[in-house]
Copies of this chain bind each other. A is one copy, B any other.
Amino acid sequence: MIEIDPERLLSDLESLRSFGSVGNGVVRTAFSDVDMKSRRWLVDKLAAAGLQASIDGVGNVIARSEYCSRALLVGSHSDTQPTGGWLDGALGVIYGLEITRAYREAGGIPGVGIDVASWMDEEGTHFSSIGSRSFCGEFTDAELMDSPNIAGERMGALLRHVGLGGVPRSIMDQDRYLGYLEAHIEQGPFLEQAGLRIGVVTSIVGVRNFVIHFHGSQNHAGTTPMALRRDAGVAAIHAAHDLDHLLARSARAATVWTFGDIRFQPGAVSIVPGEAQVRLQVRDADEEFLDSVTRGLEAHIEELGRSSDVGIELESLHDSVHAITMDDRMQRYCVDAAESRAPGKWMSMQSGAAHDAQILATKLPSGMIFVPSIGGISHDFAEDTAEDDIVLGCQVMAAAAEAIMQDAANR
């Protein structure tokens, strides 16, 4: 029976927090000096726990158990948002460290081990989930080096800049792994509102990102009569208003959509905007529904374009993520572990946030558990989780891991 050490777990979480700590929060964006430093610290901790640990060519910390042909992969990400919380990602990484130590102390099961990963840039500072994508073989070395980051610079240059030039990447050996487990803070209000302590993830929603472009004519706001304007700004306001109503009419119960940003050019008080962009994101657990929403948006934008002298285009962005359903067996292991450690205090739920597990699930049977976020707050310095819940989450994860490995050894 794996028994984790609550004090050691909390102490390591505090140590990781110290890298980039600001008030109650953490600033440790992917590939920053402090992120790279924290990864080297993590390599040392995992090596001290008896694993073969290193930073691979894309910045992933990968720690392998030796003397075993099969392993369970446990991980999350240790990079943060620009003004991030201390637990988002870090929690799941330190769970991996603690569970592998506890597993070793418990004696272990011959031939079956635990590998631990901290994926690079889940938060998308440069390239969303580049670490788990790389591990899952989504691109060749040449494709990776040539890929532009969010600022438009090549990833190759960034990787050389942080000292990863020429370092080999770890690519998943699919036959080695029994599956993938990830723990994370919920980042939403549902567990707290329900008075529950563990969430077992059933699915992770798909994300569709769009930019709607409006092309009008820039003009003097005093001397251009209303009838002669081709006002990209007003066109954007009216289109966003209509699309919000359209989405409200077509949404399913758990669909969410967000107008995250609007830009007018030139954005001056006395100038009729010549160009405007609206950013729209839609999330839902059903891929077919997301496809039908996309078609609805396209049809509406086309209709608007026909009836307006302002040009309108809908751009579907490539950073959209497909919805996935978590593996049934892995869900079962998590449910059993939650019920044994926190009887009646858990629920099955969908994840509205994207996670590395969404990438891993395309290659491995994957499971995920959540612990409650106080006030539902995340991506904010105020993010927090009760200590008891942090400890319970690790105990549940350890129990699920043990059952998975036990069953594999018995087969």
Chain A residues with a Cβ under 8 A of chain B: 186-189, 205, 207, 209, 218-226, 228, 231, 233-234, 237-238, 240-241, 244, 248, 251, 254-264, 267-273, 279, 281, 283, 351-354, 376, 378-380
Contact = CB atoms under 8 A, between A and B. Distances in A.
A272 B379 CA distance: 11
Given A187-B223, A188-B224, 20 more contacts: A188-B222, A189-B224, A205-B222, A207-B222, A220-B378, A223-B351, A226-B248, A226-B256, A233-B259, A233-B260, A237-B244, A238-B241, A258-B272, A259-B273, A260-B268, A260-B269, A260-B273, A261-B273, A262-B264, A269-B281
Contacts of A223: 186-189, 351-353, 376, 378
Contact of A225 (B225, B226, B254): B254
Contacts of A248: 226
B222 A187 contact: yes
Nearest to A257: B226
Contacts of A262: 233, 237, 262-264
A207 to B, nearest CB: 7
Contacts of A271: 258, 260, 379
A259 B276 CA distance: 12
Q: How many monomers of this chain does the complex have?
A: 2
Nearest to A272: B258
Contacts of A219: 376
A98 to B, nearest CB: 25
Most interface-central of A188, A233, A258 (chain B CB within 10 A): A258
B281 A270 contact: yes
Contacts of A256: 221-222, 224-226
Q: Which 9 A-B pairs have the closest CB atoms?
A: A188-B223, A222-B352, A241-B241, A221-B258, A222-B353, A261-B267, A223-B352, A187-B223, A260-B269
A352 B272 CA distance: 13
A233 B258 CA distance: 9
Contacts of A270: 207, 258, 260, 281
A125 to B, nearest CB: 12
A347 B260 CA distance: 48
Most interface-central of A209, A254, A270, A272 (chain B CB within 10 A): A270
Nearest to A273: B260
B267 A260 contact: yes
A378 B222 CA distance: 11
B251 A244 contact: no
Nearest to A224: B188
28 contacts: A186-B223, A187-B220, A187-B222, A188-B222, A189-B224, A189-B225, A189-B228, A207-B270, A220-B379, A222-B283, A223-B376, A223-B378, A224-B256, A226-B255, A228-B376, A231-B259, A233-B258, A233-B261, A234-B244, A258-B270, A258-B272, A259-B273, A260-B264, A260-B268, A260-B269, A260-B271, A261-B264, A261-B269
Contacts of A228: 189, 376
Given A220-B378, A220-B379, A237 B241 contact: yes
Contacts of A261: 233, 264, 267-269, 273
Most interface-central of A221, A224, A231, A257 (chain B CB within 10 A): A221
A244 B352 CA distance: 35
Contacts of A279: 269
A390 to B, nearest CB: 19
